[in-house]
Amino acid sequence: MSADSAVKFKVLDACCGTRMMWFDRQHQGAVFGDKRSETITVTDRSHGRENGTRTLHIEPDVLMDFRDIPYPDNTFRLVAFDPPHLERAGPKSWMATKYGKLSDNWREDLRRGFAECFRVLEPEGVLVFKWNETHVKLREVLALTPERPLFGQVSGRGGLTHWLVFMKES
């Protein structure tokens, strides 16, 4: 799928990974983007896996970088933004493979990512942002955008995952 064909879509997942947060991973109104397209088998002995491996499928509709989204301004009604959140992880880490790893320049990466997500949102469009603060506190991330969330929810076993909702100004 080319970036030009996204006009019929109303939702963008800017870094979809394995689409794990989606109930409908083939939703017809969404376009799934990621900079990776790969199938990876990693070591994982959790949950009694007899063979000690797990296979991840990262299959975006469009290869793209959330810092440079290939769509025109005001294209989407809703953008999901769940960027990598790990600063430290081994080269063969299950967590880094599944969630991605922040670059050394992560502050600028996330600043640009927020700016791009808001750019492609329609006026009064909604951005849903997900962040896990295991390594980087949410307040540090929110300092990277002038936009302010409307509301949010803390979740996860340790209360470290935050879901925030923003609305673009009209």
Dig out the tokens for 46 from the structure: 């959790």
How many domains does the chain divide into?
1
Q: What is the mean pLDDT of residues 82-86?
A: 91
Structural domain containing residue 130: 3-167
Question: Model-level pTM?
Answer: 0.88
Distant-in-sequence, close-in-space partners of 23: CB < 8 Å, separation ≥ 6:
none
Q: What is the CATH number of the domain that holds 31?
A: 3.40.50.150
Q: Determine contact, residues 34/63, Cβ cutoff 8 Å.
A: yes
- Summarize pLDDT for 7-66 with one digit per residue, the tens: 567 999 999 999 999 999 999 999 999 999 988 887 766 666 677 777 888 999 999 999
